Amino acid sequence: MADSGTNIPTTISVRSPSKYVARPADPHASVPPPLEWLYRTWSVTHSTLSMWRSAKNVRITYKPYEADKSSSPAIDDLVEYEKKGSQSGVKTVEGVDRPDPGSPSAWDWRGKGWLRIASSHWEVLGYGERPLTTAEGGAGIERWVVTWFAPTLFTQEGLDIYSDRREGLSRETLEAIMEALKNLDEAPKIVTLVEKQMQPVEISLPWQEKK
């Protein structure tokens, strides 16, 4: 797996979802993350989505979708989570993300199997990495992503914050992401959503593993 490179931001910045941008976006303001960088397992540390209120240890694994040989490769999308207060094991949601040709940093998700009737649109609003200090967990690199999900017939729009660390984000990184989200002047609805509904997603290590 490719690691960080010159294309990965080292400062924290987020953009508004494309639906809230009235003017053509600066082409440099919405550069999608390199897929080689995105391909890994991410811990969902904070979310506005009500579906995660009853879940813990929510993680999303992105990897190449081997069945797709097109020039715009699709992503194999696996969501795993555990139910709070239950020993029922790991629940999964499997789907495929295909790039939206009209919107940089955006994908259209469709479920696999019996979930094939379900679909959604999502965008990466920001991503990057920064070095961890000793106080934040020792030497190493912390990677983060902010995603936005468009509303569907069954769900409201929402945002997730990801970390590549199972234990979640460092406080400094989280505070910087939250500050950036609260300064999205183009999208006051998103600011309100973050202020009123962004909550931690429970992390209780170790993760249960799918049998």
Q: Would you say 98 and 112 are in contact if contact means Cβ atoms under 8 Å apart?
A: no
152 falls in which pLDDT band (50, 70, 90)? confident
pLDDT over threshold 90, residue 33: yes
pLDDT over threshold 70, residue 29: no
pLDDT over threshold 60, residue 144: yes
20-34 average pLDDT score? 72
Question: Of 50-54, 106-110, 137-141, where does mean pLDDT reach its minimum?
Answer: 137-141
pLDDT at 138: 64
69-95 average pLDDT score? 90
Per-chain mean pLDDT for the chain: 90
Tell me yes or no: is domain 32-200 CATH 2.40.128.20.
yes
CA nearest to 110, candidates 70, 76, 62: 76
CA nearest to 21, candidates 185, 186, 182, 193: 186
pLDDT over threshold 90, residue 201: yes
pLDDT over threshold 90, residue 121: yes
CA distance 80 to 102: 29
The CA angle 189-59-41, to the nearest 5 degrees, is: 110
Q: Return the number of other C-beta atoms located less than 10 Å from residue 124's C-beta.
A: 21
pLDDT at 142: 96
Q: What is the pTM of this model?
A: 0.90
Question: Where along the chain do its domains lie?
Answer: 32-200
